[in-house]
């Protein structure tokens, strides 16, 4: 079997995945919508199935990964092995060019690259729905990073998860002028992992039911804004949705707080920017961490980056465009 290396990029949701109807299969209670980023931030992953191995080996950023990380890698590999009809264990090396577990969705790009490389190394010609389901087994949000451009994760209704995968709403070329200015406020590892945080919300938040009730209309509105390249609607919906998710997190028992003072300062600065512009020209969204993703138009990206860098506690900004999704890298770029 061949060695295969793939590069994938994170996706940043504007309608968020938060809450699982099945934790083992990462099946969500609601659909979600995201933009896959370009290669300003990326993960490279090499996979080789090797008959001499008795278990899967996983190295992350040059070091042996923690056991719980290897378990998640094996879940993706198991899904690939099952479909390919093989039992062979694999060696996996993965490298991020950005901080791991700090709210830049390193798991999304990592498991998307893994799904593509593993299917390829197993000699499968998997379509995007299969690749998306494989990636989902590692991390739910990863199922959207398999898709380039604008993606919708269809929550599905089946118990086996066969209808829960991401599809493309529009390619990256559809809205080339959209930018995501990432403000890194804290590159540390998050305290409560998404899996536990989601369980706490589903069990403890009464507001969560209301969130789910409004989801279908929100997803329709967001897709409409994307298809029309309607920036003010896209940004307004994204900001409200991000705050709604963080509100149900706070409504959990005990409350879950991923945002910090810097995140709130960024929120205020974005609203001030919009007030100066006299229209909604920038909009933030926050994942399970304090880093901000500020969506805006190309012509405002520099000003937004400068504004964010002026906020005390913002360590760095990275400007991303919509990206095309995972791609296979030549042999010479393999990690081992």
The residues of the shown chain that bind ligand DP6, judged by CB under 6 A, are 13, 16-18, 26, 32, 105, 107, 139-141, 194-195, 287-288
With respect to ligand DP6, which residue has the nearer C-beta, 86 or 204? 204
With respect to ligand DP6, which residue has the nearer C-beta, 5 or 26? 26
Minimum CB separation from ligand DP6 for residue 35, in Å? 11
Q: Which two tokens stand for residue 115?
A: 């799904």
For residue 106, give the H/E element and its range: helix 106-121
Write out the E strands in 99-249: 150-154, 165-170, 178-184
With respect to ligand DP6, which residue has the nearer C-beta, 3 or 20? 20
Minimum CB separation from ligand DP6 for residue 298, in Å? 24
Give the relative orientation of helices 128-138 and 106-121 as an angle to the nearest 10 degrees.
130
With respect to ligand DP6, which residue has the nearer C-beta, 4 or 32? 32
Q: How far apart are CA 209 and CA 170, in angstroms?
A: 30
Minimum CB separation from ligand DP6 for residue 110, in Å? 10
In SS3 terms, 113-147 reads as HHHHHHHHHCCCCCCHHHHHHHHHHHCCCHHHHCC
With respect to ligand DP6, which residue has the nearer C-beta, 170 or 192? 192
Contact 30, 19 (CB under 8 A): yes
Minimum CB separation from ligand DP6 for residue 327, in Å? 22
**Residue 325: how many other CB atoms lie within 10 Å:** 24
Q: Which two tokens stand for residue 211?
A: 């969130």
Write out the E strands in the chain: 4-8, 11-15, 20-22, 27-28, 32-36, 43-49, 57-60, 63-64, 90-96, 150-154, 165-170, 178-184, 282-286, 292-297, 316-320, 327-328
Minimum CB separation from ligand DP6 for residue 127, in Å? 22
Could you identify the residue written with the tokens 């199935």?
A: 49
With respect to ligand DP6, which residue has the nearer C-beta, 281 or 288? 288
Minimum CB separation from ligand DP6 for residue 139, in Å? 3
Minimum CB separation from ligand DP6 for residue 121, in Å? 23
Minimum CB separation from ligand DP6 for residue 111, in Å? 8
Q: Which two tokens stand for residue 57?
A: 């080996």
Minimum CB separation from ligand DP6 for residue 219, in Å? 12
Beta bridge partners of 279: none
CA 154 to chain centre: 15
Q: How far apart are CA 204 and CA 315, in angstroms?
A: 34
With respect to ligand DP6, which residue has the nearer C-beta, 72 or 300? 72
């Amino acid at each position: 079997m061949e060695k295969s290396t793939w590069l994938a990029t994170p996706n940043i949701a504007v309608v968020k995945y938060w809450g699982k109807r099945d934790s083992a299969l990462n099946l969500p209670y609601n659909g979600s919508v995201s933009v896959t980023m370009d290669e300003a931030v990326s993960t490279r992953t090499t996979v080789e199935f090797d008959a001499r191995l008795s278990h899967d080996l996983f190295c992350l950023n040059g070091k042996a990964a923690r056991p719980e990380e290897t378990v998640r890698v094996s879940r993706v590999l198991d899904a690939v092995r099952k479909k390919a009809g093989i039992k062979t264990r694999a060696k996996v090396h993965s490298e991020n060019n950005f901080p791991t577990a700090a709210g830049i969705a390193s798991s999304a790009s990592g498991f998307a690259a893994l799904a593509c490389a593993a299917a390829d190394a197993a000699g499968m010609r998997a379509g995007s729905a299969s690749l998306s389901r494989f990636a989902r087994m590692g991390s739910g949000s990863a199922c959207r990073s398999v898709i380039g451009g604008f993606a919708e994760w269809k929550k599905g209704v089946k118990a086996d998860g066969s209808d829960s995968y991401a599809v493309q709403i529009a390619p990256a070329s559809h809205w080339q002028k959209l930018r995501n200015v990432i403000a890194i406020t804290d590159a540390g590892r998050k305290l409560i992992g998404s899996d536990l945080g989601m369980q706490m919300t589903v069990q403890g938040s009464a507001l969560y039911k209301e969130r789910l009730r409004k989801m279908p209309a929100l997803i329709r509105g967001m897709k409409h804004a994307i298809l029309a390249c309607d920036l003010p609607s896209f940004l307004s919906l994204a900001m409200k949705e991000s705050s709604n998710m963080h509100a149900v997190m706070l409504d959990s028992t005990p409350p879950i707080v991923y945002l910090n003072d810097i995140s709130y300062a960024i929120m205020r600065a974005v609203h001030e920017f919009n007030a100066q512009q006299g229209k909604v020209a920038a909009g933030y969204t926050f994942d399970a961490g304090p880093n901000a993703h500020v969506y805006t138009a190309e012509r405002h990206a520099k000003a937004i980056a400068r504004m964010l860098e002026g906020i005390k506690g913002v360590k760095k900004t990275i400007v991303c465009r919509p990206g095309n999704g995972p791609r296979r890298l030549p042999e010479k770029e393999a990690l081992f």
